Structure 1
Amino acid sequence: MITTSEHDLRELFGRSIAVSATLAGPEHVLEAANPAFFAAIGRSPDGIGLPLGALLPRGLGDDILPLLDRVGSTGIADTLRDLRVVLGAGAPAREAFFDITVEPRRGGLQVIGVETTQIKHAQRLLAEQRLLVEHIARQAPLTEVLDGMARSIESLAPEPVLVSVLLADPDGAHLRHGAAPSLPGFYNAAIDGIATGDGVGSCGTAAFRREPVIVTDIGTDPFWDDFRDLAQRAELAACWSTPILARDGSLLGTFAMYHRRPRVPQDSDLALARIFARTAALAIERHHIEQAKALAEARAEAAREELARALRAEHELRADAERRAEAAAELAARLRSAAAAQVAAPHPESCQLGGPEGCEAAAEIKIADSWGDSAWGCPAHAEEAILNVRAVFIASEELGGLAAYLGR
């Protein structure tokens, strides 16, 4: 069973031309040739009976005639590789390459040519694809990969083409600029953020329908009613857009090929678009995976930092609680010591620190401040005053007032 990828490669490189001709005498008179031979040299079959030199274009004759003379004089077959030929004329014309083999025959030569254009293009395509996959594997920035892909397609396409890649927002409702190295900057800026929807240009429609949308003439297609003036300013006449889909079918973006003149795509054009849309999907999915991984790592790092901050805060609170406990224990010890030392000193019977409501507890401890004021109180009110009133300390009968403060 032929896979989609294999089918696309056959569309791109499965067509090949074989040319053949029979020549007679030293003048290489054309005796017979197949239609492909006449197409390759740009002449009609009425050239039978004429010397080949009179039929070949100048550039082509300069390459082939020396080969014919050499084989005719030596009798040894020879091959000319990668001979460049322009097939057709005008807009449909295309560049082609042939390997031409000339063999001696009785009374003349036999010319056989096999087109190698497809091989050369396949080699270039595979090289470009391999380079892009290497960029993806080494996690090159997505913009770099998409820009390189766009330039590769523009160089591989048989006709001038301008490539654009738009990236879908996470909700799939809008398309953002991804890469478009050959489109004007004002055009890229104008379509950055366009909505996905039926009839919204080629790309918006392709994204909405999840299928290719081929607009062969922007000047007349209704999909381009809202963007026709913009396209005219950018000198764009046709736009073929292919949706870029993830493996689960979700929208990743669009891949568009623009042309300067109205144009209907060939099967090979559509195959090229599908091949590179798959490459773009690989790059974008890899980018999304890396983004998700980086986001998860950032969240994990933030959680680790938050846990570390919580642990530090807990440690500080624990240390502070321990310091407070030690201070409280020390203060309690001092209160007990002061009470023991002052028990014999004359003092009022009741606590003087109870405030307006008073306190009936026994006065046991004398406290003072830096201004020389002093009072007697119970241990509870004395401790409360020491903790909450600035410059209050335990006084003694030997050192009272400011002197006690200075000598504490």
Structure 2
Amino acid sequence: MTAVPGRRPAAAEPAIAGQRADEDLRALFGRSIAVFASLTGPAHVVETANPAFFAAIGEERARTGVALAELMPELSGQGFIALLDEVYRTGEPYTGHDVRVVLGTDPHAREAFFDFTYEPRRDANGAVSGIRVIGVETTQVKHAQRLMAEHRGLLEQIARQAPLTEVLDGMARCIENLAPQEVIVSVLLADPDGRHLRHGAAPSLPDFYNQAIDGIATGEGVGSCGTAAYRREPVIVTDIATDPFWDDFRELADRAGLAACWSTPILARDGGLLGTFAMYHRTPRVPQDTDLALAGVFADTAALAIERHHIEQEKAAAEARAKAAHDELARAVQAEQQLRAEAEQRAAAAAELADRMRAAAAAQATTPHPEHCQLGGRAGCTEPAEIKIADSWGDAAWGCTAHVEEALINVRSVFIASEELGGLAAYLNR
């Protein structure tokens, strides 16, 4: 058959039409955030793709004419090449939602999520000649959903008054899981005077490091955290090995394998210092917007947890003070009652003594005795002698009421004697 000048062979026209369709699709998706790639043959050679596709897999791999398994070898172990083989073999399209894929290899691997479709391409005879990949990366949506879920969980912990260490430890692990690149989180708590920082939570830092920085001072140039606490503003150290803020801690950080540290002060609603929130990295790094956003969100969450903890502490202390005051009042009332009872007993005893003295005076009034009190000492006493007293040695004397009472109180073993009852018998039978 002779070809007509100016026209392509009929068999070639469908193929050309297919290429034009792919070019149109690439143009359609060219400025879109949706990823698009056209793969050819059973080897799934990348024939064409839009910028979003290459941005997703890494600009350093922006090549065409290469089999997808060669361009992205990590996909083979995750089942995606096998899925392409199945679509190519059966001609049935495949759609996935929120499918997890690890792009790249260590240390540059990243977790991503996609909604995508594998759509078979057919030639003029209806046979599958390739596959079109169309999808949208949902990584940010997925991470946002996880972030909101984790954040909601932390707020619920705070609301039910979970221990502060439990909340902060959970928050640190949450951020370490959410961050797109490896990050180590630490929370330090400010002393009441704001001059020192104490360990709060750092589940992924070694114990020797946490112990060493527990109690560091707040001040200009005291690492990232001490400086952030002193300045009341974020401090970003991208390379610990060269930053002067870390002169006193550089060897410690090197032992812990830390190369960068971004610290954000945790502030109360009144501006007071509550602590610091730090993100460490194993390699020197400049923070991205997502890193700073995570730090801001969780620094505020930490502030809420710490303030709630302080409120509960103050409440418990107030309750303890109230209980102590109540107990002290109860003890005072009990002591007052006891003193009152003792006073009443002493008053009763004094009244009984007075009655006995009056009775003795009346009984001895008719008994011959000295006219004046014999108990006045060298100064003498001119009061009439009314009562006779004696002691265990057999000494006896007469005295006035006042001196008799004084003798009974101050002289050992003195008692009121009654001549009618034979002296000591009067005391024994009182």
TM-score computed with the length of structure 1 as normaliser? 0.86
- Are the counterparts in 1 of residues 190 and 197 from structure 2 also a CA contact under 8 Å? yes
User: Residue 34 of structure 1 corresponds to which residue in structure 2?
Assistant: 50
State how 1:199-348 maps to structure 2 within 5 Å: 199-348=221-370
Give per-residue Cα distances to partners, 1:261-294, cap 9 Å, x unaligned. 1111111111111111111111111111111111
Shift of the alpha carbon at 1:66? 4.7
Residues 299 and 262 (structure 1), Cα distance of their counterparts in 2 relative to 1, 3 Å cut: same
User: Residue 112 of structure 2 corresponds to which residue in structure 1?
Assistant: 96
User: Residue 65 of structure 1 corresponds to which residue in structure 2?
Assistant: 84
The farther-off stretch of 235-244 and 369-378 is 369-378
Whole-angstrom CA distance in 2 between matches of 1:230 and 1:53: 44
The farther-off stretch of 343-352 and 183-192 is 183-192
User: Residue 123 of structure 1 corresponds to which residue in structure 2?
Assistant: 145
- Are the counterparts in 2 of residues 212 and 243 from structure 1 also a CA contact under 8 Å? yes
The farther-off stretch of 181-190 and 106-115 is 106-115
Whole-angstrom CA distance in 2 between matches of 1:334 and 1:78: 117
Whole-angstrom CA distance in 1 between matches of 2:185 and 2:361: 94
- Are the counterparts in 1 of residues 103 and 112 from structure 2 also a CA contact under 8 Å? yes
Aligned with residue 44 of structure 1, among 45, 48, 62: 62
Which secondary structure state, in structure 2, belongs to the residue aligned with residue 189 of structure 1? helix
Structure 1 gaps, min length 5: 1-15
Which secondary structure state, in structure 2, belongs to the residue aligned with residue 151 of structure 1? helix
- Are the counterparts in 2 of residues 370 and 405 from structure 1 also a CA contact under 8 Å? no
- Are the counterparts in 2 of residues 372 and 400 from structure 1 also a CA contact under 8 Å? no
Residues 403 and 61 (structure 1), Cα distance of their counterparts in 2 relative to 1, 3 Å cut: closer
- Are the counterparts in 1 of residues 46 and 64 from structure 2 also a CA contact under 8 Å? no
TM-score computed with the length of structure 2 as normaliser? 0.82
Structure number with greater CO (CA < 8 Å, separation at least 6) is 1
Which secondary structure state, in structure 1, belongs to the residue aligned with residue 64 of structure 2? helix
User: Residue 96 of structure 2 corresponds to which residue in structure 1?
Assistant: 80
Residues 52 and 335 (structure 1), Cα distance of their counterparts in 2 relative to 1, 3 Å cut: closer
User: Residue 206 of structure 2 corresponds to which residue in structure 1?
Assistant: 184
The farther-off stretch of 272-281 and 77-86 is 77-86
Report the count of equivalent residues.
388
Shift of the alpha carbon at 1:169? 1.1
Residues 54 and 384 (structure 1), Cα distance of their counterparts in 2 relative to 1, 3 Å cut: closer
**1:64 counterpart letter in structure 2:** L
Whole-angstrom CA distance in 2 between matches of 1:239 and 1:24: 47
Whole-angstrom CA distance in 2 between matches of 1:271 and 1:384: 89
Structure 2 gaps, min length 5: 1-31
Residues 254 and 54 (structure 1), Cα distance of their counterparts in 2 relative to 1, 3 Å cut: closer
Shift of the alpha carbon at 1:391? 2.6
Give per-residue Cα distances to partners, 1:341-366, cap 9 Å, x unaligned. 11101111111122222211111111
Give per-residue Cα distances to partners, 1:127-155, cap 9 Å, x unaligned. 32222222222222222221222122222
Compare CA radii of gyration and give the structure with the larger one: 2
Whole-angstrom CA distance in 2 between matches of 1:400 and 1:319: 36
Shift of the alpha carbon at 1:388? 3.2
